[in-house]
Structure 1
Amino acid sequence: MVDAPDSVSRALRAAPPDQLVEAADQAIRSALGATRTDVFMADYRISGLWPVLDPELPAAGFLACHGVAQRCFSSQQPVRDAADDGRCRLYLPLSVWGERLGVLLIELSDAPGRSIETRATDIAGDLAVALRAADRETDRYRRARRRERLSMAAEMQWELLPGRSVSHRAFDLAGQLEPAYTVGGDHFDWSVDGDRLTVTVLNGDGNGLAASLLTAVAVNAMRNARRSGGGLAEQAELASDTLYYQHRGRRYVATLLLEVDIRSGRVRAVDAGSPHVLRLRGGTVEEITLEQQLPLGMFAEARYDLQEFELAPGDRLFVVSDGVWAAAPAEQEPYGERAMARSMRATRLQPAAEAVGTVMRELHAYHAETDLRDDAVVVCLDWRGFRGRDGG
């Protein structure tokens, strides 16, 4: 079993993309002597984990697995669970670059030693990379993640996302869209490039497919400028001009663009509309006030100015769209006035990927568990600060 990770890696590389879990199952059984494996995938709402290899798992067996798998997914640490017959179930996070995909279950006849657990963790890492790559070639794992049919607008929005979380030595970043299966114009995008992190949050005009198309044009225009070497202002201006000459000012996208210097923590910003930035520093929540400029696409040849603020190690930023900030169900005050700050404080001990889920759950509770009236985006950035490549 010395080359267990290598043998599983070879099996994954040789497998068709839609058969990765079967290939992993056979290879893990052979390499580690496992009696059973399965892959649990997180759904679009991150409300549960669902089996891929054994989707017909009996309800009692699924529920028994689910709670332990959820602990593993939330903690991002291996979790052991001893069965009554003496077997040991090992649950391992399936994550790549901070993107949390799900959990790998490996059942062994005996409790594994440290070396076996290390090998199993390496195997889970290889499988996570393979699953993320396979998403471009097969629909199988996307089907496993959806618990109901997506609207056409939502299908486009999820395809456009960079991911739902990413980790770096200097930061953790996560985002979530709601309502997950019908979201229209709200969106987020990010890119890590050398010493620069770019984050954009968009609050698209309108609803449904028209809003999704508008947002897709804006996101791709900003990506085009960014990938051509353009700075933050140029990204905003190209997107604004593209939208204006397509819709002549009748349609526009409120957008916040942020560019973080990873070495210094200095943030450049273009505030082109309504997304709000809040900072949690210690136990104090404050809104970072920026000068609002015109939404993208409102006027021809619009030009945008940069503003700056600083991040300190330990800071947590939340960026939210109007669907979060201005939500006022049943004649209540807007969520952003006080409830948002309470939700943020409740996340202090949670990682970024858990924190966005907490804020969204609190938002749903604020709506008395009814469907959200507007699209909602929450993005969370945890800033650790740059310590160099050696971690020092």
Structure 2
Amino acid sequence: MSTSDPDGAALWRFLADPAHLTMDLRTAAAHAARALGLRHAVVYLVDLQQRRLVPQTAVAPPVAVDGSLAGWAYRTQSLRVEESGTGSVTAWFPLLDGAERLGVLAVTDTALTASTLTRGRALASLLAMVITSKRLYEDSFVLRTRTEQMRLPAEMLRALLPPRTIGNGHVVSTAVLEPAYEIGGDAFDHSLTDTTLHVAVLDAMGHDLASGLTSTVSLAACRNARRNGYDLPELVRSVDEALSRWLPEQFCTAVVARLDLVTGVLHWANCGHPAPILIRDERLIIYAMERDADPPMGMPSLLTSRPRRTHEIPLQPGDRVLMYTDGVVEARTREAKLLGLERFADYVIRATAGGELAPESLRRLIHSILAAQEGRLRDDATLLMFEWRPPAG
């Protein structure tokens, strides 16, 4: 707290006043910064494709995620400080909702002391909670972080998707989906309990509203089954039955998986989908999870009497598992050649090398794939990667 308010009474009054609950972000940020004795603070949120940091509480130009100190704070989730030509100093704090990267907070003053930095971190934590709460129902956040109009199927699917990144002390799971504004049938899901990470990547037939409906029903069926305590074969069967009942002409491929956070044992089911890739010690073990796939989810699976199969593999601490849709390997390079699994594997090696955080590795990976074909994909491309990192000892 400021030296004139050593007990933080101004902040406590701000938090205790029910009026702060209905303040817009700009007003809440200004009041909270003043209560903490900070001279000037600006919130920047990242855009949908994680290319720009867009100011929310002041009139200022967007800042590129790549090639700026603000972007460095976002990419590394760490503090960065820079001096301006006017003699002031700006500290860039990452804005985090758990493991999810929201953007950055800029705190500017004539000088930055240890106390100022502590108060800046406190403000970043407080505003991240405010943003997470308000962006569920305030369209202003959406409007400021989109760079183009979104198609209806994409709007429907994105309303159901979870945060890009989730995690706890044992695991982090992160995902990206392109084309960001035109997705039709791809979707992902991840969630946590005290002992388990649940993940799924789906690819519905087609690229239209019906495809989006197929993925939406499949995601809802997955969530309903796991929240009812079903095991993986029962979960997949629940999706089969939901699709065959409500969308009998539709189907989707998928990988659904559960990771035991204590033992590192991974169970998964593959329903007509590309096999996940295991990354260990910065090396790709491409075929470690290669198994014969079951039929896609939906009506095709009900035409066979063979029960759904699950597979098992023990992970080692630090292992990363990458799940993807076929739109990734079917993308074309600048030379108009299919990307293919071999080229894709090379992209993964380069993107995950150097000990980067998993969300940053995935951000760079999808941008590399987009750059190789001048930003246009022939099909939806979804990537989900999770890293098991149990506490030492």
Give the TM-score of the pair, scaled to structure 2.
Answer: 0.90
Aligned to 1:338: 342
Aligned to 2:194: 194
Identity %: 27
Aligned to 2:370: 364
- Deviation at residue 79 of structure 1 after TM alignment: 1.1
Residues 7 and 27, structure 1, Cα contact 8 Å, conserved in 2: no
Q: How does 1:166-315 map to 2 (within 5 A)?
A: 166-248=166-248, 250-287=249-286, 288-297=289-298, 298-300=300-302, 303-315=307-319
Residues 237 and 301, structure 1, Cα contact 8 Å, conserved in 2: no
Residues 51 and 66, structure 2, Cα contact 8 Å, conserved in 1: no
Which consecutive residues of structure 2, in runs of 5 or more, have no partner in the other structure? none
Compared CA separation, residues 13 and 203, structure 1 to 2 (3 A): farther
State which of 35, 48, 51 in structure 2 corresponds to 1:47.
51
- Deviation at residue 149 of structure 1 after TM alignment: 1.1
State the SS of the aligned residue for 2:255.
strand
For residues 65 and 272 of structure 1, the distance between their equivalents in structure 2, rounded to whole angstroms, comes to: 37
For residues 232 and 64 of structure 1, the distance between their equivalents in structure 2, rounded to whole angstroms, comes to: 39
State the SS of the aligned residue for 1:226.
helix
Residues 166 and 190, structure 2, Cα contact 8 Å, conserved in 1: no
Range that drifts further, 133-142 or 42-51: 133-142
Compared CA separation, residues 195 and 13, structure 1 to 2 (3 A): farther
Range that drifts further, 141-150 or 188-197: 141-150
Q: How does 1:370-381 map to 2 (within 5 A)?
A: 370-381=375-386
Compared CA separation, residues 296 and 58, structure 1 to 2 (3 A): closer
For residues 382 and 294 of structure 2, the distance between their equivalents in structure 1, rounded to whole angstroms, comes to: 20
State which of 353, 358, 371 in structure 2 corresponds to 1:348.
353
Name the amino acid aligned to 2:216: A
State the SS of the aligned residue for 1:15.
helix
State the SS of the aligned residue for 2:379.
coil
Give the TM-score of the pair, scaled to structure 1.
Answer: 0.90
Residues 173 and 190, structure 2, Cα contact 8 Å, conserved in 1: no
Which consecutive residues of structure 1, in runs of 5 or more, have no partner in the other structure? none
Compared CA separation, residues 33 and 193, structure 1 to 2 (3 A): closer
State the SS of the aligned residue for 1:105.
strand
For residues 137 and 285 of structure 1, the distance between their equivalents in structure 2, rounded to whole angstroms, comes to: 41
Name the amino acid aligned to 1:366: A
Compared CA separation, residues 58 and 380, structure 1 to 2 (3 A): closer
Residues 44 and 105, structure 2, Cα contact 8 Å, conserved in 1: yes
Name the amino acid aligned to 1:300: L
Residues 12 and 130, structure 1, Cα contact 8 Å, conserved in 2: no
- Deviation at residue 192 of structure 1 after TM alignment: 0.3
* CA deviation profile, 1:52-93 (whole Å, cap 9, x unmatched): 112x4258xx67998221111011111111122221111111
State the SS of the aligned residue for 1:337.
helix
Compared CA separation, residues 263 and 341, structure 1 to 2 (3 A): same
For residues 267 and 277 of structure 1, the distance between their equivalents in structure 2, rounded to whole angstroms, comes to: 12
- Deviation at residue 348 of structure 1 after TM alignment: 1.9
Residues 65 and 74, structure 2, Cα contact 8 Å, conserved in 1: no
State the number of aligned residues.
381
Aligned to 1:23: 28
State the SS of the aligned residue for 1:160.
coil
For residues 67 and 190 of structure 2, the distance between their equivalents in structure 1, rounded to whole angstroms, comes to: 31
Name the amino acid aligned to 2:371: A
- Deviation at residue 355 of structure 1 after TM alignment: 1.1
Q: How does 1:62-141 map to 2 (within 5 A)?
A: 67-110=68-111, 112-141=112-141
Residues 176 and 357, structure 1, Cα contact 8 Å, conserved in 2: yes
